[in-house]
Amino acid sequence: MKTYEGKVDGTGLRVGVVVSRFNGAITQRLLAGAAEALRQHGVDEEHIEIVRVPGAFEIPQSAKLLAASGRFDAVVCLGALVRGETPHFEYIAMAVVNEIERLAVEYDLPMALGVLTTNTVDQGLARSGAGHGNKGHEAAVTAIEMANLRRALGAQD
């Protein structure tokens, strides 16, 4: 039986990162975690491109532009949505997550989901802290692994 699994080796990979500015105390920490993971796993600093957008709702549009460019092996999407008193949170969260998934399939390109959906700012800060609890770090590692799995399965660029 043949088994496929992506390696967590970013050597030679080009990765785009889209990060929202809204809830910046959280998203900046997600970005720091993602950048650290990419470097730790061998992605050359010159092969990491960061796109900053106003909020989570704008992440998919920029992710699509990165995917359409054909320059990247994976895209990491980072944002933070904190529940408020209105249904706005649910609408934005659902739209962003669904569109990122759709783009990954449409462009046959790994799009790692590092968009937090939390009930409080404190929960967001806890999930964007230092080390392996940082969801930006986890998303970047996932992007590397999936880019390598895509190659192992014979995907053509």
89 inside domain: yes
Looking at the structure of the chain, the number of domains it has is 1
Active site residue 47: no
Decide if 112 contacts 140 (C-beta within 8 A). yes
Question: In the numeric block, which tokens belong to residue 41?
Answer: 């796993």
Q: Read off the pLDDT band of 155 (50, 70, 90).
A: low
pTM over 0.85: yes
Assign residue 66 the CATH number of its domain: 3.40.50.960
Catalytic residue among 41, 47, 88, 137: 88
pLDDT score for 154: 85
6 inside domain: no
For the stretch 142-154, pLDDT in tens is 999 999 999 999 8
24 inside domain: yes
Domain that holds residue 138: 15-152
In sequence order, what are the residues at sequence separation of 6 or more whose Cβ sits closer than 8 angstroms to the Cβ of residue 62? 18, 51, 53
For the stretch 4-41, pLDDT in tens is 999 999 999 999 999 999 999 999 999 999 999 999 99
Percent of the chain surpassing pLDDT 70: 97
157 inside domain: no
107 inside domain: yes
1 inside domain: no
For the stretch 66-111, pLDDT in tens is 999 999 999 999 999 999 999 999 999 999 999 999 999 999 999 9
2 inside domain: no
71 inside domain: yes
Predicted confidence (pLDDT) at residue 130 exceeds the cutoff of 90? no
